[in-house]
Amino acid sequence: MSTGNAVVPVLVDYNLSQITPNVFVTAENTARQYPMIFSSGINCVINVADELPHIIFPPGVESLKFPILDIPTFPASQYFDIVADRIAANTATNRRTLLYCHHGRSRSITFILAYLIKHHQLSLPAAFALVKDKRQIALPNVGFWSQLRTYEYYQRLRQYPQYQQIMNPIPMIKNIPEPVTYGQEVLNKLSDGLQKVLARDPITSAFSNPTLQRYRRLYMQPHYPYTQRKPAPFMTPFHFKPQHGIYQKH
């Protein structure tokens, strides 16, 4: 892999690494070598890479696939229990399980760590030290490592409730606020300002406060007294009134 003028090597281990007596991990190319799979006594092969095609093995070898992306924001934790329980079920019946991804470095290692945390009661550092000793290139991405820390915490709470007093809790975001657009923010500010103005106005608050009797009387009486409008003088002949005594003889 080249970055500009520099060449960054990509570490790939094509060996079949045995983490526990019944759990193995390798890269994609090694998983396709049927003679090595059969000679190692593998009974179940789990593909944890979304971009890799599903491999169909001959009868006697079970093949599973989980669509995992090797990006930190991918929610891989939703598959932790499924894969870990499947590995544990195979181990209980003395069946061997092989996990593989593109390089056998991040995704497959992440699920093996989840299995060791849940079914072997290992801490995340202890589980990673065990895996690192068996496979030197093991390195989950930062997002998967964070999800493993959270997974370890809740597994300890499930197994030992008193563990919460020993281990510092990991902050979890339960309710993520929805993003507010600029128009919504302006509308909220205008609405708050209008509510404050209405609360200060005695006329508008008279309806909501029945104790203000004077404001209630204000609405019981008209604001302006009703007066009958008189016609303007000298507009029609009927309104013409001669002055008193103008036609009287002297």
User: Active-site positions?
Assistant: 101
Burial call 162-187: b when 16+ CB within 10 Å, e when fewer? eeeeeeeeeeeeeeeeeeeeeeeeee
Rounded CA-CA distance 120/147 in Å is 18
Rounded CA-CA distance 109/106 in Å is 5
104: nearest Cα among 64, 145, 135, 134: 135
Rounded CA-CA distance 250/247 in Å is 9
Rounded CA-CA distance 62/58 in Å is 8
Rounded CA-CA distance 106/27 in Å is 11
> What would the two tokens of residue 63 be?
């093949």
Phi-psi region of 247 (alpha: psi -120 to 50; beta: other; left: phi over 0): alpha
Backbone phi, then psi, for 19, in 5-degree steps?
Answer: -85, -50
Rounded CA-CA distance 158/31 in Å is 35
